[in-house]
Amino acid sequence: MLKQLGKGLILAGFASFAASVAWWYLFFAQLLKEDVKQASACFYQTTTDCAIGNMVISTFGDIPAYSPDLLWLAAGLVGLGIMLLGAKPGTSGK
């Protein structure tokens, strides 16, 4: 049971990571075009420059402002899933 849950959490974490990458790329590509790599720091944290960029882009863009929260959620899901995969089955207390 724990192993199945762990695998599910890992899968959900990787899906969330993929969604985070897509969201980051689509959001910052609106403004930066080919220079989207300039926003690489915005992928994992919100710096002052990122916050200003978010405000400017979200005012004129169609995509909601990027937030690295989804990335960190993905990391947490994968980490928890790995811990559950490594967990030993508990005793039933008998």
pLDDT in tens, 58-81: 787 778 888 999 999 999 999 999
In a domain, 38, yes or no: yes
Any domain includes 26: yes
For residue 90, what pLDDT is reported?
Answer: 66
Residue 47 lies in a domain: yes
Coil vs helix vs strand at 47: coil
10 assigned to some structural domain: yes
Structural domain total, the chain: 1
- 11 Cβ partners below 8 Å, 6+ apart? 81
Residue 93 in domain: no
Percent share of the chain, pLDDT over 90: 40
pLDDT for 40 beyond 70: yes
The predicted pLDDT at position 93 comes to 46
**What is the extent of the structural domain holding 25?**
2-86
Distance (Å, rounded) from C-alpha 20 to C-alpha 40? 13
Tell me, yes or no, whether 94 lies in a domain.
Answer: no
Q: Give mean pLDDT, residues 36-44.
A: 83
Report yes or no on 36 lying in a domain. Answer: yes
The pTM score is 0.80
Residue 51 domain-assigned?
Answer: yes
